[in-house]
Structure 1
Amino acid sequence: MGCMSETITYRTLRREDYPALTELLCDTWYLKPDTDRDLAMKLAAADLEYCLARTTTAQVAVRGETVVGVVLGRIDAAETRKGVNRHHRASMKILASLLFNAQGRAALQKLKKNEEANRSMLAEAKKEGHAYDAEVVLLLVSPSVRGQGVGKHLFDWLLGQFKANGVTRYFLYTDTGCDYQFYDRAGLTRRKVLDMEPHTVQEDAEVQQEASDLDEHLHAFLYDNEVAPANEGVNPLGRD
């Protein structure tokens, strides 16, 4: 039975939710002024399938008949699929269809760069001794319900699943194109930062002058739930 929060209910993800989630991903992240909708939808569909390939637990937020939010999580101990699963194959099939035009190939290069950045940050974190047994794969909320606590509800639900399954350390990827401050407020640690765009000499000087670790370029992040000293007293594995 779904939990009620005003006019929004929460329930387990269903297969029939995939088209709505693809639309939400498309409109939130992939539909740009220089990208046609067909390409954006293919990128969103491939992204969703790749996320589902890593997912072991999921919940959606629904208003009326419309899916307005989702959280996907991976608990390593709960994963029963071995190697490449059907979602991996579906994602690769969609991406392969992008090879036949220049805009599609450019999009593939960007996706490859993002994936390499994520893998690099995770490898660095592990090299430093950080180990994880779960991942927040995707947290996405429709602009139509932002500010109503939907993201917090979904995130807290996933943390409850982590706790119930004995997870002690989890991580997630995000970037400056997302609401990454949500994870700062939740008490997580920004473990890794990677600048995704080249700097000019002038931009380097401006960053140093402002003593800032971020500029207007796209930055990729890896967050985890190891509590930093500044966040002592915050419990990022639950709200007990």
Structure 2
Amino acid sequence: MSSQAVLRAMRAEDMPRIEEIVCRTWGYDVSMSARNAALLGKIDAYECLSRRTYMRVADVDGEVAGLIVAADRRRPHIDRRMQLMQLGAVCGLLTSREGRQGLGMFRQYMAADKELSRDAESQGRRYDGELVLFIVDGQYRGYGLGRMLFDDAMRYFHDQGIDDFFLYTDTGCDFGFYGHRGMTRRCARSVSFPIGDRIRTEEMYIYDDTVSHQISDHGEDSR
């Protein structure tokens, strides 16, 4: 890649591009109409960003190529404006059968996340940090942007005194990256939901690790 990638704070004008990346990465655009897929992408993006305490986007020639969103769970933050925008998108989905199916799918994802958290807690796991959203747009993969974003989040956690952290992921994502980073797949759940005339099933996971382990294994990149 001849262009230089820059990590920077999110800007308001980035939101349409972030919604687009979320929509395409999670496959909403191939599961339903363009209108409903875009609304579901908004709902997903707003839910994640509403809980952020830290966020960086990877900018390549003025285009958002990826992003990472982190949360300090010791000091929870809620962005009410994002929640209101999410509510508006929810209302838009309620107007059609397909939209209601998509909303049901999203709610099942959220319910599975809560079940995974309970599973982790039953194993005595407690986390101060969460990687809420971590995406690199498909056309920019293979150029090290994921490593740059992930290492940046590790530096944030380290600076905040956070060691134990986790993330949710599923078989629709490149979860092999987390194994490559030496993270532990802590828990797994299966979720199924109707999309159109078929049933879609995915495995959902919690991966966890410590920031100190990431820094010791990946050296200066994570400091």
TM-score by length of 2: 0.87
Q: Offset of 1:143 from its aligned partner?
A: 1.3
Cα distance change on mapping 1:96 and 1:66 into 2, 3 Å: same
In 2, the alpha carbon distance for the partners of 1:226 and 1:66 equals 32
In 1, the alpha carbon distance for the partners of 2:163 and 2:125 equals 12
Q: Offset of 1:108 from its aligned partner?
A: 1.1
Please state if 1:178 is matched with 2:156: no
Please state if 1:192 is matched with 2:187: yes
Please state if 1:69 is matched with 2:53: no
Bigger Cα Rg: 1
Q: Where does 1:1-240 land on structure 2 (aligned, <5 Å)?
A: 6-81=3-78, 85-197=80-192, 217-225=201-209, 235-237=213-215, 239-240=218-219
Contact 1:163–1:237 (8 Å) recurs in 2: no
Q: Which amino acid aligns with 1:9?
A: V
Task: Give the percent of matched residue pairs that are identical in Structure 1 and Structure 2.
Answer: 30
Contact 1:189–1:226 (8 Å) recurs in 2: no
Cα distance change on mapping 1:17 and 1:32 into 2, 3 Å: closer
Aligned length: 211
DSSP 3-state at the match of 1:55: coil
Q: Which amino acid aligns with 2:207?
A: Y
Q: Which amino acid aligns with 2:36?
A: L
DSSP 3-state at the match of 2:88: helix
In 1, the alpha carbon distance for the partners of 2:135 and 2:66 equals 5
In 2, the alpha carbon distance for the partners of 1:80 and 1:102 equals 33
Q: Offset of 1:86 from its aligned partner?
A: 2.4
Q: Which amino acid aligns with 2:94?
A: L
Q: Offset of 1:32 from its aligned partner?
A: 3.8
Match of 2:197 in 1: none
1:136-194: per-residue Cα shift (whole Å, max 9, x none)? Answer: 01111111210000001000100110011000111100000000010011111100111
In 2, the alpha carbon distance for the partners of 1:125 and 1:27 equals 29
Contact 2:68–2:153 (8 Å) recurs in 1: yes
User: Which structure shows the higher strand fraction?
Assistant: 2
Cα distance change on mapping 1:223 and 1:237 into 2, 3 Å: farther
In 1, the alpha carbon distance for the partners of 2:104 and 2:55 equals 29
| More displaced 10-residue stretch of structure 1: 27-36 or 174-183 | 27-36
In 1, the alpha carbon distance for the partners of 2:76 and 2:201 equals 36
TM-score by length of 1: 0.81
* Residue ranges of structure 1 left out of the alignment (5+ in a row): 199-215, 228-233
Contact 1:30–1:43 (8 Å) recurs in 2: no
DSSP 3-state at the match of 1:131: coil
1:96-140: per-residue Cα shift (whole Å, max 9, x none)? Answer: 221121001111111111111000000121122110111001111
